[in-house]
Structure 1
Amino acid sequence: MARPSRLLLRLVAGALLLLAALPGGRPDLASDAAALVALRDAVGRSALPTWNASVATCNWPGVTCVAGRVDELRLPGAGLIGQIPAVVGNLTALHTLSLRFNALSGPLPDELASLVELRNLYLQNNRLDGEIPAFLANLKNLVRLNLASNQFTGGIPLELNNLSRLGTLYLENNKLTGEIPTLDNPGLVQFNVSNNQVNGSIPARLRSQPRSAFLNTGLCGGPLGLCPGEVAPTPSSEGPSASNAGGGVPESGKKKKLSGGAIAGISIGAAAFFLIVLVALVLLCRGRRLGAASAGTKQMEMGDIPEQRDKGLGDGRVNGNGAAVAATAVSAAAKSSSTSGAGTGAKKLVFFGSGRATTPFDLEDLLRASAEVLGKGTFGTAYKAVLESGMAVAVKRLKDVNLQEVEFKERIEAVGAMDHPNLVPLMAYYFSKDEKLMVYEYLPMGSLSALMHGNKGSGRTPLNWETRTGIAFAAARGLEYIHSTSPSASHGNIKSSNILLTKSYEARVSDHGLALLVGSATPSARIAGYRAPEVTDPQKVSQKADVYSFGVLLLELLTGKAPAQALMNEEGVDLPRWVQSVVREEWTAEVFDVELLRYQNVEEDMVQLLQLAIDCVAHYPDKRPSMSEVVVRIGEIQKSSISSFSQDQQRNP
């Protein structure tokens, strides 16, 4: 019965392709749905019961749609059994096909050659057999190809050289034979052919791969050692001497010894060189001291401020560029204001209500402050300035602000008017034609990003469950307050480096309102890893987009992973999709940060917070909760955790 079934599937696939070729028969979501149903009927009728007409195709488990077509099909470990049907070739808009860890068998169907948009093909850990088909070379956009742990036979096709974008090729644990062809794919960085029957010399292009890529084979060369008859290359530093210019081996294989006079000369020369270096270092140190002593009598120009790593305000990573660095910015600002403000009076710091009452300092005090660069962030460079009174403030020097003074004042006053315990308070601002400064309260604990990802050594203090939920709750309250100020109010740049912490680990949201001040020159990729999928213009961010970013923040707290990490795993998916794929596979425990696994009495609460995060990162904005709902749900999780902890204490006093 296997042959008629396969023949029937090929007829169905041919009919669908014929319809697609007819006028009005262009492939669309309906044709993709038909192909998915055929796939279900062929290999997963019992494994994919929810793939039916009662649910929209794009909501089927493992299916992701983009622009009205199926863009990704991910069914890892779904229990698929049988041969991959030819009809899969009708999913011509696919970018990712992942059928790994199933029980698929037989050869790869020729129709896969139609998937010309495919970037990622993951078929590892199945029972596929036959030769690796040469038609894979037609998939010109292929970046990652994983056929490991199957039963493929024959040789590695030379045609794979046509895949100019190929970066990963995993073929280990198969039954491949013959020599490895000369693979010259320019982007190939990951390769593995271990546990196969291949033999011969490893091609030069692949010899930089680790030894583990070629274990248990008949290969030689590169990391496996010399092949028979192969001569080790002579290091350039040990080139042939004049008496051996022909490249032959010196007589008796012995190296010539240096004479006593030569040794003495080398020793004297080395001692003289060391003395010269020592004198130069002494003179250099004295020069630096003189330079530092005269630094107080002159001001650095604005262009002398070094560029720092892309960190947000209060990131907690002091770069130690010395005193008066922040003063450089404000002194240049004062210089510009003294010229632009001629006839109108020099401009001053403008304080807001609470700041005016508790911060008796002015622009001149900032000029005299010692300071350190905190980092270069999305909206400008941040400094920690310590006033002569001992008070520390954070000064942010804005960039890409092209507003006139009246408009700038209106917008900045709206930011200054925001008053909530979970927002970093804006104390004052300074405006001139060339410089815009903002002065904030300084929080010594730095940011959540620095706390979670800055120190991975043995001295790291793990963030416990209570602290993480407290940070999540406080940040949610701060964002909820911003949304409550206006139906259109949003933050626009929620990320862990903009969540600052007090000494008691209470979270405060920073950079609120700054998205209204910067120009369109600000790159849209500024919140890579946090940006909602519908956001294309960084100046048009909605409250629902903020909710998405906050959901990513929750996932960061739960997983311990940084969302901006380029590759979460081999398949290169972002943090939300990685979490969702793991949860679908019922490997929920694999999601959580190892530092959280010790808190067994709050496992249910951890899962509830994970579910909230997944709700927040829903693909469609109208399916995401409001920040008010988020605050309520986190509050309930906190209460449940406290109750669970109390009961555990009573059981185990």
Structure 2
Amino acid sequence: MKFNPFIAFFVFVLLPQQKFVQVVADLDSDKQALLEFANGVPHVKKLNWNLATPVCTSWVGITCNTNGTDVIAVRLPGVGLYGTIPSNTIGKLKALKVLSLRSNNINGSLPSDIPSIPSLQCLFLQHNNLSSKFPVTFSPRLRIVDFSYNSISGTIPNVDLPSVRVLNFSYNNLSGSIPSSFKRFPSSFIGNPLLCGSEPLKPCSESVVSPSPSPLTDFPSPKTGSQNQHATSKSKLGVGSIIAIVVGGLAFVFLLLAVIFISCLKRKHSGSNGMLKSKISQNDKPNDFGSGVQEAEKNKLFFFEGCSYNFDLEDLLKASAEVLGKGSYGTTYKAALEEGTQVVVKRLKEVAVGKKEFEQQMEVVNR
């Protein structure tokens, strides 16, 4: 076979140039994707990313492979990124292995093309304010996933992550139960009040409490004039409501005191009337049986003519007695005196007549 100089020229000259063109094209694609990301996401700290400087050696937070052909790591922790991440930016880095955007204030939904980058191995997005749902597509090469201290919500899909060794979705707003594919990470979901499962979470049979607010919030946006006026009117309304409540409370207290005072006056007036009526009734009441007699005569018994008994009230009170019966006018007793005499005594109740009237009545009974 004869040597063909044209083929040799193609192999040794044209093929290396074609490979170099491909490398430059790949790096330019990564460079353009990173610039679109930087332009779409505001950041407090200024990045030195621009078209005039080389990506692999000059750009902050960027690491390329040893050949300088692809971006394999983007590390921008705590640089003041805020807002949402546009899709088709970071997700275009087809050789990316490490993405670290932790400790920023990124909010909104995470583009689905980021966790599904085929070459991605480490994803650090903790301490942001992401409010998207739980990702459903992950790179099969992922080994470390950290979404802790965000606002990820919704239920957890049953996603298989065979290569993951470290998983952290703690302190989010996830709900429901933990699927079987994630039960090998028992401590990766703490701080989700609406989530249930095995220890250290609450059992799913127990009721769960309402979610607590996210530990991180968005950067405060400046208020417009109408918003300030609205807030001022709200504060004025609040002060007016407080004053109305205080005045109403004082009026209620005064009304209650007035009612108590009037009630006391009525009670005092009715009490004085009762005492007056009692005095009048006592004055009008006829003298009882013992009125108008000496103290010595109160214990003296009076016998009718022809009666041979000779004892007094003291002897009668000392005698043993038994009850014979009770009537409408009093109780009847059988009394046995000391000398053996037995008498029947009827003790009258409610006697409201004078002595003379009582003796006259007894005379009638004796006849």
TM-score (norm 2): 0.46
TM-score (norm 1): 0.26
User: Larger radius of gyration, structure 1 or 2?
Assistant: 2
